[in-house]
Structure formats: structure tokens, C-alpha cells
């Protein structure tokens, strides 16, 4: 995955970032664009973050690659961009902690939501099975078992069944831009 995280936008030379992204997109190990997005609490002003994000979304569409978003408090911008860009590959929100209403809006748009150790239980129950991803973010890899167990209990599922669902969803997310899926 490659992309310019919103926290890094204050230090970045926009044109240098564009060159790096454009060059790296052809590397076969790059399977998605991310984490990209909007965070009004960190990084450059939202307007600059939005300009950088739009460039990355154009690259993602041209390369038919899924996108992983870091979005803080600005799901309105994400929904507007989804309508504007009409993505050719899947979009997912990393570290989804918002409320049930936002979960429904994202689900209606077909946007995946990735849930980690901290989440809103009501929102997690609203996420359709086919749009649910699981993550640990910066925690040790073995902690995914705890995330699986917690989210499974919240959703009233067996942990093994949830792990299978999340694995299949991740496969579909990563393969979404390919014509064979």
C-alpha cells in the first residue's frame, strides 16, 4: 500500500509526493492506495489535504486500485468524493469508530469499514457482513485474535465465522479493481 497520509501533508512537497506515487504505482507489490484521507486535527489545512487526496484518488482510479482511508470527523467529504470519483475499485475506512448512522451511509455507498480494538458497538452491528474488515493497526499481530473475539461477540457471531468473513472480504477488497472479480 502506498499513499500520502494526512498527518504527513504539512512536510510534503506536493509535486514530489505526486512523482513518488506515480512512479510506485506500477510496482507489483503495491496493491492499494492508502492510508490517504482527511484529518482536520493533524497535518496541513483541510483544503490542502483535499487537494492531495483528490490527486491520489485519480491515480487510484486510473490504476484500478482499492483505497484505504484515514478519515477523522469528515465523512461528509468522503461521501462527496465517492459521488464525484465513482471509484472503479473498492474504498475502505481504516480504524472505523464512528456512529451507526455513518456506518449506514458508508454501507449504502458500498464502502468497507475496518474495525480495530476500539469501536462503537452500535455502529459495528450496522456494518453489513460483506463490508466488514478487521485490523489491529499498530498492535502486535497476535492481537487480531482479540479483535476478532470482541467484534464477534458484539455481532453475535462465532469468532471463527467472523474470521472467515473478514478474510473473504479482504480478498474481495484487494481484488476489486481487477476485471476477473
Domains and CATH numbers, the chain: 6-175 (3.20.20.140)
Q: Which residues of 84-93 are buried (b: 16+ CB within 10 A; e: fewer)?
A: eeebebbbbb
Residues 68/37, Cβ–Cβ less than 8 Å: no
18-52 pLDDT, tens digit per residue, is 777 777 888 888 899 989 999 999 888 899 899 99
Residue 13 has what pLDDT?
66
Dist. CA 140–CA 1, nearest whole Å: 19
Cell readout for 165 is 468473513
Cell readout for 159 is 469468532
pTM: 0.90
Residues of the chain with pLDDT under 50: 180-181
Three-state secondary-structure class, residue 44? coil
Amino acid at each position: 500500500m502506498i499513499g500520502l497520509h494526512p498527518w504527513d501533508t504539512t512536510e510534503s512537497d506536493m509535486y514530489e509526493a505526486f512523482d513518488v506515487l506515480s512512479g510506485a504505482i506500477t510496482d507489483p507489490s503495491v496493491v492499494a492506495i492508502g492510508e490517504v484521507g482527511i484529518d482536520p486535527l493533524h497535518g496541513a489545512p483541510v483544503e490542502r489535504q483535499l487537494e492531495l487526496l483528490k490527486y491520489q484518488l485519480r491515480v487510484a482510479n486510473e490504476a484500478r486500485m482499492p483505497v484505504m482511508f484515514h478519515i477523522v470527523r469528515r465523512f461528509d467529504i468522503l461521501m462527496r468524493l465517492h459521488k464525484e470519483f465513482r471509484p472503479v475499485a473498492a474504498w475502505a475506512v481504516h480504524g472505523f469508530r464512528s456512529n451507526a448512522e455513518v456506518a449506514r451511509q458508508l454501507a449504502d455507498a458500498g464502502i468497507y469499514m475496518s474495525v480495530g480494538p476500539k469501536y462503537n458497538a452500535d455502529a459495528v452491528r450496522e456494518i453489513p457482513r460483506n463490508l466488514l474488515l478487521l485490523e489491529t493497526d499498530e498492535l502486535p499481530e497476535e492481537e487480531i485474535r482479540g479483535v476478532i473475539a470482541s467484534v464477534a461477540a458484539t455481532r453475535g457471531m462465532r469468532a471463527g465465522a467472523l474470521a472467515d468473513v473478514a478474510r473473504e472480504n479482504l480478498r474481495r477488497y484487494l481484488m476489486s479493481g481487477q476485471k476477473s472479480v
